[in-house]
Structure 1
Amino acid sequence: MSTLSRPKHIGRNISRIRELRDMKQEALAQALGTNQQAISAMENSETIDEEKLTAVAKALGVTAEGIKNYSDENILSIINNTFNSHEFNIKCR
Protein backbone atom coordinates (compact mmCIF):
# COMPACT_ATOMS: atom_id res chain seq x y z
CA MET A 1 0.00 0.00 0.00
CA SER A 2 1.46 3.38 -0.91
CA THR A 3 2.04 6.02 1.73
CA LEU A 4 -0.36 8.34 -0.08
CA SER A 5 -3.33 6.04 0.43
CA ARG A 6 -2.44 4.80 3.92
CA PRO A 7 -4.38 6.57 6.66
CA LYS A 8 -2.44 8.44 9.33
CA HIS A 9 -1.99 6.54 12.58
CA ILE A 10 -2.64 9.30 15.12
CA GLY A 11 -1.50 7.22 18.09
CA ARG A 12 1.83 6.51 16.43
CA ASN A 13 2.25 10.21 15.68
CA ILE A 14 1.60 11.04 19.33
CA SER A 15 4.17 8.46 20.38
CA ARG A 16 6.86 9.84 18.04
CA ILE A 17 6.25 13.45 19.11
CA ARG A 18 6.29 12.43 22.77
CA GLU A 19 9.59 10.61 22.24
CA LEU A 20 11.09 13.59 20.40
CA ARG A 21 10.09 15.73 23.37
CA ASP A 22 11.93 13.21 25.60
CA MET A 23 8.71 12.68 27.54
CA LYS A 24 7.77 9.36 29.11
CA GLN A 25 4.25 7.95 28.91
CA GLU A 26 3.94 8.50 32.67
CA ALA A 27 4.63 12.23 32.30
CA LEU A 28 2.05 12.59 29.52
CA ALA A 29 -0.42 10.61 31.60
CA GLN A 30 0.10 12.94 34.55
CA ALA A 31 -0.38 16.01 32.34
CA LEU A 32 -3.66 14.53 31.08
CA GLY A 33 -4.86 13.29 34.46
CA THR A 34 -4.80 9.64 33.48
CA ASN A 35 -2.47 6.66 33.79
CA GLN A 36 0.34 5.17 31.72
CA GLN A 37 -1.85 2.29 30.52
CA ALA A 38 -4.33 4.76 28.99
CA ILE A 39 -1.49 6.51 27.14
CA SER A 40 -0.21 3.18 25.85
CA ALA A 41 -3.69 2.28 24.59
CA MET A 42 -4.08 5.72 22.98
CA GLU A 43 -0.71 5.40 21.20
CA ASN A 44 -1.85 2.07 19.78
CA SER A 45 -5.07 3.60 18.39
CA GLU A 46 -5.31 4.74 14.79
CA THR A 47 -7.88 7.39 15.63
CA ILE A 48 -8.57 9.63 18.63
CA ASP A 49 -11.51 11.91 19.23
CA GLU A 50 -10.88 15.63 18.64
CA GLU A 51 -11.33 16.67 22.27
CA LYS A 52 -8.72 14.19 23.49
CA LEU A 53 -6.41 15.06 20.60
CA THR A 54 -6.57 18.75 21.52
CA ALA A 55 -5.69 17.95 25.15
CA VAL A 56 -2.78 15.73 24.08
CA ALA A 57 -1.51 18.38 21.68
CA LYS A 58 -1.55 20.99 24.44
CA ALA A 59 0.34 18.66 26.80
CA LEU A 60 2.95 17.99 24.09
CA GLY A 61 3.27 21.68 23.18
CA VAL A 62 2.10 21.22 19.59
CA THR A 63 -1.14 21.74 17.69
CA ALA A 64 -3.69 19.05 16.91
CA GLU A 65 -2.94 19.68 13.24
CA GLY A 66 0.74 19.13 13.97
CA ILE A 67 -0.08 15.69 15.36
CA LYS A 68 -2.38 14.85 12.46
CA ASN A 69 0.17 15.92 9.85
CA TYR A 70 3.28 14.60 11.59
CA SER A 71 5.70 12.60 9.51
CA ASP A 72 9.28 11.51 10.09
CA GLU A 73 10.17 12.99 6.71
CA ASN A 74 8.95 16.46 7.74
CA ILE A 75 10.86 16.35 11.02
CA LEU A 76 14.04 15.15 9.33
CA SER A 77 13.71 17.96 6.81
CA ILE A 78 13.32 20.53 9.59
CA ILE A 79 16.30 19.10 11.50
CA ASN A 80 18.39 19.02 8.34
CA ASN A 81 17.49 22.62 7.46
CA THR A 82 18.27 23.76 11.00
CA PHE A 83 21.60 21.93 10.93
CA ASN A 84 22.50 23.41 7.54
CA SER A 85 21.56 26.91 8.71
CA HIS A 86 23.68 26.48 11.82
CA GLU A 87 26.60 25.20 9.75
CA PHE A 88 26.26 28.19 7.40
CA ASN A 89 26.23 30.61 10.34
CA ILE A 90 29.41 29.08 11.77
CA LYS A 91 31.23 29.33 8.42
CA CYS A 92 30.16 32.98 7.99
CA ARG A 93 31.57 34.12 11.32
Structure 2
Amino acid sequence: MLAEPDVLICDEITTALDAGSTALVTAEITRLREESGMAVLWIGHDLTLVERLADDLVVLDTGRVVESGDRATVLASPAADTTRLLLRSRDLAAATHQ
Protein backbone atom coordinates (compact mmCIF):
# COMPACT_ATOMS: atom_id res chain seq x y z
CA MET A 1 0.00 0.00 0.00
CA LEU A 2 3.01 2.26 0.38
CA ALA A 3 3.35 2.35 -3.40
CA GLU A 4 -0.24 3.62 -3.69
CA PRO A 5 -1.35 1.17 -6.37
CA ASP A 6 -4.12 1.98 -8.81
CA VAL A 7 -5.36 -1.62 -8.53
CA LEU A 8 -5.18 -4.10 -5.65
CA ILE A 9 -5.59 -7.75 -6.66
CA CYS A 10 -7.14 -9.93 -3.94
CA ASP A 11 -6.95 -13.56 -5.06
CA GLU A 12 -8.90 -15.81 -2.66
CA ILE A 13 -7.54 -13.79 0.26
CA THR A 14 -10.19 -14.93 2.73
CA THR A 15 -10.42 -18.64 1.83
CA ALA A 16 -8.57 -19.88 4.93
CA LEU A 17 -10.05 -17.30 7.32
CA ASP A 18 -12.89 -17.61 9.78
CA ALA A 19 -15.92 -15.33 9.42
CA GLY A 20 -14.65 -12.75 11.90
CA SER A 21 -11.24 -12.44 10.25
CA THR A 22 -12.86 -12.27 6.81
CA ALA A 23 -15.04 -9.39 7.97
CA LEU A 24 -12.02 -7.50 9.35
CA VAL A 25 -9.90 -8.01 6.23
CA THR A 26 -12.64 -7.05 3.79
CA ALA A 27 -13.63 -4.01 5.86
CA GLU A 28 -10.04 -2.79 5.89
CA ILE A 29 -9.62 -3.26 2.14
CA THR A 30 -12.93 -1.50 1.53
CA ARG A 31 -11.80 1.40 3.73
CA LEU A 32 -8.48 1.65 1.89
CA ARG A 33 -10.28 1.55 -1.48
CA GLU A 34 -12.64 4.33 -0.47
CA GLU A 35 -9.84 6.51 0.92
CA SER A 36 -7.42 6.04 -1.97
CA GLY A 37 -9.75 5.61 -4.94
CA MET A 38 -7.91 2.47 -6.07
CA ALA A 39 -9.76 -0.33 -7.79
CA VAL A 40 -9.95 -3.75 -6.14
CA LEU A 41 -10.07 -6.95 -8.18
CA TRP A 42 -11.65 -9.65 -6.01
CA ILE A 43 -10.92 -13.14 -7.28
CA GLY A 44 -12.89 -15.88 -5.57
CA HIS A 45 -15.59 -18.49 -5.68
CA ASP A 46 -17.49 -17.31 -2.58
CA LEU A 47 -20.51 -15.56 -4.13
CA THR A 48 -21.77 -14.45 -0.73
CA LEU A 49 -18.59 -12.44 -0.29
CA VAL A 50 -18.47 -11.26 -3.90
CA GLU A 51 -22.09 -10.13 -3.66
CA ARG A 52 -21.15 -7.81 -0.79
CA LEU A 53 -17.98 -6.41 -2.33
CA ALA A 54 -18.13 -6.27 -6.12
CA ASP A 55 -19.72 -3.75 -8.44
CA ASP A 56 -19.21 -5.88 -11.55
CA LEU A 57 -18.73 -9.63 -12.02
CA VAL A 58 -16.85 -11.73 -14.52
CA VAL A 59 -17.57 -15.46 -14.31
CA LEU A 60 -14.91 -17.81 -15.68
CA ASP A 61 -15.10 -21.46 -16.59
CA THR A 62 -11.82 -23.20 -17.39
CA GLY A 63 -10.18 -19.83 -17.91
CA ARG A 64 -12.79 -18.47 -20.31
CA VAL A 65 -15.26 -15.69 -19.64
CA VAL A 66 -18.77 -17.16 -19.71
CA GLU A 67 -20.62 -14.15 -18.30
CA SER A 68 -19.96 -10.60 -17.21
CA GLY A 69 -21.87 -7.53 -16.18
CA ASP A 70 -22.99 -5.52 -13.21
CA ARG A 71 -23.38 -7.57 -10.04
CA ALA A 72 -27.14 -7.18 -9.64
CA THR A 73 -27.93 -8.23 -13.21
CA VAL A 74 -25.59 -11.23 -13.28
CA LEU A 75 -26.83 -12.56 -9.94
CA ALA A 76 -30.52 -11.89 -10.57
CA SER A 77 -30.61 -13.27 -14.12
CA PRO A 78 -27.63 -15.52 -14.72
CA ALA A 79 -27.19 -16.42 -18.38
CA ALA A 80 -24.40 -18.99 -18.03
CA ASP A 81 -24.68 -22.50 -16.61
CA THR A 82 -21.52 -21.89 -14.58
CA THR A 83 -23.07 -18.86 -12.89
CA ARG A 84 -26.25 -20.79 -12.10
CA LEU A 85 -24.16 -23.61 -10.64
CA LEU A 86 -22.24 -21.18 -8.42
CA LEU A 87 -25.52 -19.64 -7.24
CA ARG A 88 -26.97 -23.07 -6.42
CA SER A 89 -23.80 -23.94 -4.49
CA ARG A 90 -24.08 -20.69 -2.54
CA ASP A 91 -27.73 -21.34 -1.75
CA LEU A 92 -27.05 -24.93 -0.64
CA ALA A 93 -24.21 -23.79 1.62
CA ALA A 94 -26.44 -21.13 3.16
CA ALA A 95 -29.24 -23.66 3.74
CA THR A 96 -26.92 -26.11 5.51
CA HIS A 97 -25.58 -23.39 7.83
CA GLN A 98 -28.99 -22.26 9.08
Per residue, is there more helix in 1 or in 2?
A: 1
| Higher Rg of the two aligned structures | 1
TM-score bracket for this pair, using the shorter chain length: under 0.3
- After TM superposition, the score normalised by the length of structure 2 is 0.24
